[in-house]
Amino acid sequence: MLGYRKMLDKIRAIKKLNYVKTHRMGNTGIGKTLEDLLGITENNIPGPNGKMIELKSARTNASSMLTLFTKSPMPAKANSLLLNKIGYKSSNGKKELHTTLNALDFNNIKGKTGLKVSVKRNKLVIIDKKDSEYGYWDKETLKQSFERKLPKIVYVKAESRGKGSKEEFWYNEAWLLNGFSFANFIKLINDGVILVDVRIGQYPDGRPHDHGTGFRVSPRKLDMCFSNRKRIV
């Protein structure tokens, strides 16, 4: 198994290769190509302290969003409230609510002013234009959700050019990332860097079906989400 120090040496060598052709078409090409160049079959490695470190990679010019973690809002009936008050009829006749929230302004849901997220009493709260609250996440919940999904990672960034089977990557930057900072997380929320995707459907018996309320960020800004950031390449 490739160790942490050996991996760093290999990433430095890969950087010197400049652009390399993708080993796989599509979004997963960047990760597959890096793993092949490193000679590994799994995206985690043993760190200096014996704990596993996950390996992630992203295009610096990526336009798609990356899900940091998913967590339903609290209290337990928040999804029911959102679905009943804000939800709309889907093509199958059931109610649903698929919408993206930010902290900069209220969004638009089916032609009407919708919702946003706001910080209140050390919580991240979903509100409408009347300041009515529909659900929240507290500091500890966000911390646990973040650190369970993203404990410690080596994050490699790459410039990319070309498309499809002709896409090429230059892996020219790597960071060691870990730790959750509520203050930093909230700043990224308030700056519109982190968005919240609400995805709620409805079971045949009318109960809400949470398809995964996700906190998302641009891959090129993932490193900003951690309290401990150290550039290693």
DSSP assignment of 41-56 equals: SSSEEE-TTS-EEEEE
DSSP assignment of 59-87 equals: ETT--S-EEEEE---BSTTHHHHHHHHH-
Stretch 16-22: mean pLDDT: 97
> 66 is written with which tokens?
């990356």
pLDDT attached to residue 197: 96
Residue 199 pLDDT class (50, 70, 90 cuts)? very high
Structural domain boundaries, residue 159: 4-62+150-179+222-231
Stretch 101-123: mean pLDDT: 95
State pLDDT tens for residues 31-72. Answer: 999 999 999 876 666 666 556 788 889 998 887 888 999 999
State pLDDT tens for residues 218-233. Answer: 888 888 899 999 999 9
**Residue 119 sits in the same domain as residue 226:** no
Alpha carbons within 13 A on the beta-carbon side of 56: 22
**Residue 100 sits in the same domain as residue 192:** yes
**Residue 9 sits in the same domain as residue 107:** no
**Residue 172 sits in the same domain as residue 80:** no
Q: Cα-flanking dihedrals φ and ψ of residue 211, to 5°? A: -85, 5
Stretch 112-133: mean pLDDT: 95
Residues 99, 126 contacting (CB under 8 angstroms): no
The count of domains in the chain is 2
pTM of the model: 0.82
- In CATH, what number is assigned to the domain containing residue 125? 3.30.70.3570
**Residue 56 sits in the same domain as residue 165:** yes
State pLDDT tens for residues 200-224. Answer: 998 888 888 888 899 999 888 888 8
**Residue 10 sits in the same domain as residue 55:** yes
For residue 102, the SS3 value is coil
